[in-house]
Amino acid sequence: MPKPLQDYMPTLRLTFVIESLGGGGAQRVLALLTTALADLGQEVCVVTYAERGADRVTLDPRVMRRAADLGGESGNVFGAISMNIRRISGLRDLIRESRPDVVIAFVGTTNILTLLACSGLRVPVVISERNDPARQSLGRAWDVLRRLLYRRAAVVTANATAAVTAMAHYVPASKLSVIPNPLAVPVEINAPDAGDPYVLAVGRLHPQKGFDVLLEAFAVFVRSHPEWRMVLLGEGPERDRLTVLADELGIAERVSFAGFVDPTPFYRGCSMFVQPSRFEGSSNALLEAMGHACPIIVTGVPDAMPDFVSAGENARVVPTEDAPALTSAMGALATNPAVAQELGASAHQAVAKLSPDRIAGMWLDIFNGVAR
């Protein structure tokens, strides 16, 4: 019998750095990826600068966990500078203790802090950009640092082609790579209850996600579909404003703000999934909904559509900031359940190739190429 693939792979010590293991999409990706890498025989460590008490995502027991306990917000610019200097020092100590062959940094400001923390350590740093830098500013100072420091990385990855295109202005093309998010394709897929139809949206309650536009669209949609309701999963700074908006639109009784919960049963039960984002990199919630064969409505523009979305084939695509277009798309799926089911089946098929082991193999190719 041939030996397993991992028996032929060199074992690398891989240290991932991320702000926290809170409940975001990047954290779920990291958990899937580190588990798949452990399955392939790699030694994996995850370092955060937020304390363990902030954890909402559980890592595989084979993955080592280190925390610097340097999270929190500062009240002024001088406090922020002092805090980030301490974070760089704390991360540097934890990274050095993990003795990595490769360091992998996840998400915006953490990528920059990690590059600074690894300065002089003679260890290659791989950046994982989780959004489109052309559409998501980190703040003026951080944006300048991103442009200056990303070129120092051994490789800069993104989960969407548009993000790589944006970074090509300040990172050499030879260092850029697109790696899709992994997806654990579920066994149980979407099977909505016809007697309890609802629209599902999942994500951080933040202006980026466009949930205000979705509420406006739903307020019109529900006039002709009064049996429908909406479920919003997630937490964030926009919660109070969105709650007030739902009340002002007269749909408060039709909209549930469910908070941070396991989305799996909602993917299985929803009648459609809507992503109304103003901009995205590669949305984990969208991937998960497609994996569950949910009928999909997504906002997008031609140069920034997710690589796995095909308008009309596996999703209804509408312009950003266009509540009437969202209303129309929801109405079309609500009145044509057979079409909705076909969209869901095509969506499921489109993401079947994103298995964690396959995506982990793509990452390993990069790690083996840069490890000293």
Is the confidence at residue 240, as pLDDT, over 50?
yes
Q: What is the mean pLDDT of residues 147-176?
A: 94
Q: What is the mean pLDDT of residues 180-195?
A: 82
Is the confidence at residue 212, as pLDDT, over 80?
yes
pTM higher than the cut 0.85: no
Task: Report pLDDT for 189.
Answer: 81
Model pLDDT for residues 16-53, shown as the tens digit of each residue: 999 999 877 889 899 999 999 999 999 999 999 887 87
Is the confidence at residue 1, as pLDDT, over 50?
no
CATH superfamily ID and name for 5-182+355-370: Glycogen Phosphorylase B; (3.40.50.2000)
> Cα–Cα distances in Å, from 197 out to 37, 98, 116, 194, 339?
39, 50, 50, 6, 16
Model pLDDT for residues 34-43, shown as the tens digit of each residue: 999 999 999 9
pLDDT grade, residue 2 (50/70/90)?
very low
* Structure-block tokens of residue 269: 């039960």
Q: What is the mean pLDDT of residues 248-254?
A: 97
Model pLDDT for residues 296-340, shown as the tens digit of each residue: 999 985 555 566 787 778 999 999 999 999 999 999 999 999 999
283 touches 25 (CB < 8 A): yes
Strand arrangement of the beta sheet that strand 255-259 belongs to: 255-259, 229-233, 198-202, 272-275, 296-299, 316-318
Task: Report pLDDT for 301.
Answer: 59
Which one of 3.40.50.11720, 2.40.30.10, 3.40.50.2000, 1.10.3720.10 gives the CATH number of domain 198-350? 3.40.50.2000
Residue span(s) of the chain under CATH 3.40.50.2000 come to: 5-182+355-370, 198-350
Q: What is the SS3 string spanning the chain? A: CCCCHHHHCCCCEEEEEECCCCCCHHHHHHHHHHHHHHHCCCEEEEEECCCHHHCCCCCCCCCEEEECCCCCCCCCHHHHHHHHHHHHHHHHHHHHHHCCCEEEEECHHHHHHHHHHCCCCCCCEEEEECCCCCCCCCCHHHHHHHHHHHHHCCEEEECCHHHHHHHCCCCCHHHEEECCCCCCCCCCCCCCCCCCCEEEEECCCCHHHCHHHHHHHHHHHHHHCCCCEEEEECCCCCHHHHHHHHHHCCCHHHEEEEECCCCHHHHHHCCEEEECCCCCCCCHHHHHHHHCCCCEEEECCHHHCCCCCCECCCEEEECCCCHHHHHHHHHHHHCCHHHHHHHHHHHHHHCCCCCHHHHHHHHHHHHHHHCC
Task: Report pLDDT for 9.
Answer: 63
